[in-house]
Amino acid sequence: MNGWSNERAAEIFPMVLEGFWVVLKVALVAGIIAVALGLLIAIAEQTAPTWFRRPLSGVMQFVRNTPLLVQVLLVWYATSLYINPEWTAFAVGSAVLGVHYASYTSESYRAGIEAIPQGQWEAATALSLPVHRTWFAVILPQMMRRSSAAVANWIIAMFKEVPVLFAIGVIEMIARVQEYQGLHYSGSLEGYTIAGLLFLAASYPVAVAMRRLEIRLAKSHF
C-alpha cells in the first residue's frame, strides 16, 4: 500500500471536489423533499381519517426500519424495470434519500405539534378559527420553533448519507476516488481523506449553528 503523497493529493483534489458539488446538489434536492414531505406527513397523521393514517404509519415504519441502501437499490431496480428506465440515478437516489429522511423529520414535526399546550387548540376553537387558520396562524409557527433544530440535525445526517448513492451510479466523491484508484492503482488514502475533510468542512459549521439554536430555543418560552 502506498503512503501519503502530496502530488497525488493535488492531482485527485479537483476530481473529489467535482464529486462534492454532486453531493451538495443531491443534499439540496433530498433536503427539500425531507422537509416538505415530512411536514405533510406530520399534518396528515394529525388530521387525516383513520383509513389513511394507518397505512401511512405502516409505510413510515417500514421506511424507518429498513436500511437506506436496501431502499435505494430496491427503488432503483424497480424503477428501471417497471416504471421508467430513463430516470437518472441522481433523480431516483435524491427522491429515495428525501423520502427516507422525511420519515424522520415527520417524527420531529409530530413531537413539536404534540408539545403545543392543549390550551392553544382550545383558544383557537373558542375564537371560531377555521381549521386552516388554526394550523397556519397558531400551530405551525409554534411547532416550527420547537422542531427546527431537530429537523436540521436530520438534514445534516442525510447529507452524510449521500455516498450511499454510489451503489446506483451517482458519481459523487467516493465514486471519483474509486475512478482515480482504478486508473492509477493508488490514491485511496488521499482521496478518502480529502472527501472526509470536505464533509467535515460542510457539516461542522452547520452542526455548531444548530447546537446554538437548540440552546437558544431551550431558553425560550412559548
- Residue 69's domain comprises 6-219
Torsion of CA 157, 158, 163, 169, to 10 degrees: 170
Please give the distance of CA 214 from its chain centroid, rounded to a whole number.
Answer: 19
What is the Cα gyration radius of the chain?
21
For the chain, percent of residues with pLDDT exceeding 70: 96
CA distance 36 to 54: 20
pLDDT, tens digit (0-9, with 9 covering 90-100), for 80-106: 888 888 899 999 999 999 999 999 999
Cell numbers that stand for 37 in this block: 414531505
Residue 1 belongs to some domain of the structure:
no
From residue 49, how far is each of 22, 53, 68, 101, 190 by CA, in Å? Answer: 40, 6, 29, 24, 54
For the chain, what is the mean pLDDT?
87
Domain count across the chain = 1
Residue 32 belongs to some domain of the structure:
yes
Spatial CA neighbour of 198 closest among 190, 186, 208: 190
Quote the pTM value.
0.87
Q: Any idea what the CATH number is for the domain that residue 81 is in?
A: 1.10.3720.10
- At 70, is the pLDDT very low, low, confident or very high (cuts 50, 70, 90)? very high
pLDDT, tens digit (0-9, with 9 covering 90-100), for 167-219: 998 988 888 888 888 887 877 888 899 999 998 888 888 778 777 776 776 66
Residue 137 belongs to some domain of the structure:
yes
